Structure 1
């Protein structure tokens, strides 16, 4: 249970660090991203998670800002082995030595939620043990409670309205609660294993659910080093397993994109955080590569007259001399068949460069939140697309394209579906990896064929023909009635019974503008009457009768001041319009 003293101490720490690094100012002005990253690292897991979520919001933050925040995935402080041992034994309710014959005291990796140790089970199987940082759940809950209490106080921050803070905190809470429950990660990992292990050069570790709990995961040990080691490798032609570094990077970048498209358009279940720390790169020699190539089987059924023949054959799938081993499954995304179709249509529409088709596709993946002006949305999207899609296909940056479309939707009260938001986040992370591996690769050119393949796969020609035939027959059936319906319509109009309904767009704005014009006209008439009345009082006042004369002069003064005010207001409005352009 959190005490008020603990809350106060944590709040003071947060305020002190935020002020020291000028975090609010730097985020608002999008400057000094290194200072923001350092502040989040000092503040711990909750803020690291916030930074990671910010790192993919390229629609809100600059490229320099998002790239710097991606570094939050590394260099997290580790826990002492005594605390780790105690946590494992409490969770498993047995001494460490009853399960493991060997357990490395020093972790080989540490993230915001947990750290990872090498170990060996009693059956001599090499495993990896992911242990949640002791007390991390209480720390995160405290930070989230402070976030929620502080929400009403941030309205004074410039540009705070750009981000829906309530929605952001809710998203952070849901994401962190899912990551804190390792049982959910076990379910995700086993599903990812079923769908992806053995697919080309992709490998996934097998879980050990019998030794896993809500705070501990035990999984199969996977060989290799972080993909970052290959990214940082020199470009000169150093041969590795028959390939140069450049060739390896190019091949792996294409494999990662192809695999991600398979996850999205075939599985509907994708890794939402495919950064280099979550992927191990393993080089194999010729013998290891041959031994690891899976045996594939195919069956053929053929008829010869009335006799049916069954043929089957097996072959080894030819693989490149490396493996990509996925090792973390805390953040996964799902996409429904319906949304798969909509996303496929969106990508195909972008590839076709058809503005109307793109607009319809984007609208289909959004929900309306508030007032929506379709003409304004279409106009803004058309203006952006006409400027951006004139580029050659190879030069189109798919991530920037998606980010700008998201921004236009947000500005027009359209909310992208949550599954698509997670998909864009994952694609943004992957895009950064691909850019580091192979800057010349055009993601747009690689992604479009997968969307087209999915579209064709979903197209059931027989059903489509049946539906077209039914529509055609319905039209033929209604055709003889067309002349009588036409005569009925003409007869209605000839008798004066016809009605024409017109809808005026932006009716409220037009009425407000008309009202303002009428008000100014009335004020002008009043001022004219005031000037004429004052003139009559001054001219007709008896000689020496100062009261009537003063009333006339007073009227002149009021009229003059009013006219000066109206002129000043007019100039100010013109200045504001000029400045806002």
Structure 2
């Protein structure tokens, strides 16, 4: 494995090759910024498995990256060249003190899959169970964490450059480092399988592979091999007599239960991680899981309710309560953006609304206003968007909105209307009556203050400091341009007056000075990109 210094130089060289040399002062930035997302993906691919994993994690974070980067980084394939089986055997011995041959009756040396973090082999235990052996790449943890650490150094060196497309860059990569550490420990995956199984034991249509805890460590996990139909193998499902709409409906209901009831859901439900076997939907690969605390579930409840009820004040206040504000918020503009979003969705056909896209667009609005949302919601958006796309391919005629609406209306975990007790109704009635009694007195005071000239109107000018600074710059440039014009005119008069006696040195100096100052003014305007 290369040293930290060698790897840093390699990263800088590859970034420069794809047009990001300005980050480390090795090249001038290209003006074709629209190509940056594609070139960043290509750079990550060339930098190897560590950066491919970083890119995949970034592609799930709509709260910190613009949509064009999310779209491009989502194209990163979780595939990598396989490593020798002898290395997998050596890791197994190191983790358990046993040879693979002593545990497995049969093991395929050719991997079923080889990804950026690990590779998977199919085998059979001496006890007769068909299993898969998942082994982490040699030195993967060291390599990945080193790459993240070096990228943090690069980000820290040029934070203003990354602010063009990344919100709170250093914080983002610090969070990615913690996420990667959790994912690189396969014991967390085993615990996720056990917890998911326990929470869904009453759901007849959902199951998970059995995990063999005797052969589970930080770098190795052994699970039951699930041999069934891939969920988008339409031809095989039809031949086996499955009804695709039924599968799609059960899958959606199971996921909604995971989110609203359990607060623990599969974070990567792509077609390769869902298998149909014996009338059940098997979820596999629990490397990415989403969690929602009871508080965040309640906030999600409030968000959906405020959107349905078109209560923009409640929507804005909930988002401000959930998120972390990075700078002063222009509440008027924030309100306008939310209003446009809600109007756009609620004027469309209700049956065509995709909840994943809706929540994703809400997160895009918060990102635009520098409000950082909890990462739990970004995992939910990714999973929900992925699931909606999968169900559309599986069962195009299934009305996803109707299924979701039916579940939410019957669920005790989602309440569109809060129950009103008789005590609460009585208390609010007393408050209303008291306000109505005081209303004439308040109106009388208002007119009295108007008549006596004591009424004051307060105007809150949002971002006035920025506007005032811009106005000052504009005035300064106008004055500067007038001075340059005066210099040109005065030098012309001097030269004209001394025409008979010879060339005036003072006039030429004025001309040159005016030309230099004029050129400087033009350059400053061009650099401000407000020509």
**TM-score class normalised by the smaller sequence:** 0.7 to 0.9
Structure 1 residue 395 corresponds to structure 2 residue 352: yes
The aligned residue for residue 411 of structure 1 is 368
Counterpart among 274, 277, 281 of residue 276 in structure 2: 281
- For 1:375-454, list aligned pairs within 5 A: 375-439=332-396, 443-454=400-411
- Shift, 1:374, TM fit: 0.2
- For 1:275-314, list aligned pairs within 5 A: 275-282=270-277, 284=278
Query: 1:366/1:149 Cα in 2 relative to 1: closer, same or farther (>3 Å)?
Result: closer
CA contact (8 A) 2:82 2:114 kept: yes
Q: 1:433-480 deviations in whole A, cap 9, x for unaligned? A: 334334555644544444444477558966644333333345556777
Counterpart among 249, 255, 260 of residue 254 in structure 1: 249
Helix, strand or coil at the partner of 1:270: strand
- Contiguous gaps of at least 5 residues in structure 1: 285-321
- Greater shift after overlay, 141-150 or 387-396? 387-396
Structure 1 residue 117 corresponds to structure 2 residue 124: no
- Greater shift after overlay, 184-193 or 101-110? 101-110
Structure 1 residue 365 corresponds to structure 2 residue 322: yes
Helix, strand or coil at the partner of 1:68: coil
- Shift, 1:174, TM fit: 1.4
The aligned residue for residue 329 of structure 1 is 286
Query: 1:362/1:449 Cα in 2 relative to 1: closer, same or farther (>3 Å)?
Result: farther
CA contact (8 A) 2:159 2:169 kept: no
What is the alpha-carbon distance in structure 2 between the residues aligned to residue 8 and residue 528 of structure 1?
55
Helix, strand or coil at the partner of 2:239: coil
Structure 1 residue 202 corresponds to structure 2 residue 206: yes
Query: 1:389/1:361 Cα in 2 relative to 1: closer, same or farther (>3 Å)?
Result: farther
Query: 1:15/1:492 Cα in 2 relative to 1: closer, same or farther (>3 Å)?
Result: closer
What is the alpha-carbon distance in structure 2 between the residues aligned to residue 517 and residue 6 of structure 1?
51
The aligned residue for residue 266 of structure 2 is 271
The aligned residue for residue 169 of structure 1 is 173
CA contact (8 A) 1:345 1:455 kept: no
The aligned residue for residue 134 of structure 1 is 138
Q: 1:349-370 deviations in whole A, cap 9, x for unaligned? A: 4345565554445444322111
CA contact (8 A) 2:163 2:169 kept: no
Q: 1:152-201 deviations in whole A, cap 9, x for unaligned? A: 45569688444543233223211210011122222222111111245132
Query: 1:486/1:100 Cα in 2 relative to 1: closer, same or farther (>3 Å)?
Result: same
What is the alpha-carbon distance in structure 2 between the residues aligned to residue 45 and residue 133 of structure 1?
10
- Greater shift after overlay, 395-404 or 405-414? 395-404
- Shift, 1:333, TM fit: 1.4
Q: 1:497-546 deviations in whole A, cap 9, x for unaligned? A: 77665433333245446656876898899999999999x999xx9x9999
- Cα RMSD (Å): 4.8
Structure 1 residue 60 corresponds to structure 2 residue 79: no
- Shift, 1:415, TM fit: 1.4
Counterpart among 97, 100, 114 of residue 93 in structure 1: 97
CA contact (8 A) 2:231 2:394 kept: no
What is the alpha-carbon distance in structure 2 between the residues aligned to residue 211 and residue 264 of structure 1?
30
What is the alpha-carbon distance in structure 1 between the residues aligned to residue 308 and residue 185 of structure 2?
40
- For 1:96-245, list aligned pairs within 5 A: 96-152=100-156, 160-197=164-201, 199-227=203-231, 230=233, 233=235, 239-243=238-242
CA contact (8 A) 1:30 1:61 kept: no
Q: 1:267-320 deviations in whole A, cap 9, x for unaligned? A: 1111111122222232x4xxxxxxxxxxxxxxxxxxxxxxxxxxxxxxxxxxxx
Query: 1:185/1:326 Cα in 2 relative to 1: closer, same or farther (>3 Å)?
Result: same
Helix, strand or coil at the partner of 2:197: helix
Query: 1:23/1:323 Cα in 2 relative to 1: closer, same or farther (>3 Å)?
Result: farther
The aligned residue for residue 24 of structure 2 is none
Q: 1:65-120 deviations in whole A, cap 9, x for unaligned? A: 35533xx13x3332322222221122112344554444443332333222223344
What is the alpha-carbon distance in structure 2 between the residues aligned to residue 26 and residue 447 of structure 1?
46
Q: 1:378-414 deviations in whole A, cap 9, x for unaligned? A: 1233334444543222333444443333222112121
CA contact (8 A) 1:399 1:427 kept: yes
- Shift, 1:422, TM fit: 1.9
What is the alpha-carbon distance in structure 1 between the residues aligned to residue 209 and residue 161 of structure 2?
46
The aligned residue for residue 48 of structure 2 is 44
Q: 1:139-162 deviations in whole A, cap 9, x for unaligned? A: 213222322232245569688444
CA contact (8 A) 1:108 1:118 kept: yes
What is the alpha-carbon distance in structure 1 between the residues aligned to residue 499 and residue 100 of structure 2?
113
- Shift, 1:576, TM fit: 6.7
CA contact (8 A) 1:344 1:452 kept: no
What is the alpha-carbon distance in structure 2 between the residues aligned to residue 94 and residue 133 of structure 1?
19
The aligned residue for residue 6 of structure 1 is 3
What is the alpha-carbon distance in structure 1 between the residues aligned to residue 16 and residue 484 of structure 2?
55
- Greater shift after overlay, 475-484 or 251-260? 475-484
**Equivalent pairs, count:** 516
Query: 1:405/1:91 Cα in 2 relative to 1: closer, same or farther (>3 Å)?
Result: same
Helix, strand or coil at the partner of 1:118: strand
What is the alpha-carbon distance in structure 2 between the residues aligned to residue 507 and residue 26 of structure 1?
31
Structure 1 residue 79 corresponds to structure 2 residue 83: yes
Helix, strand or coil at the partner of 1:391: coil
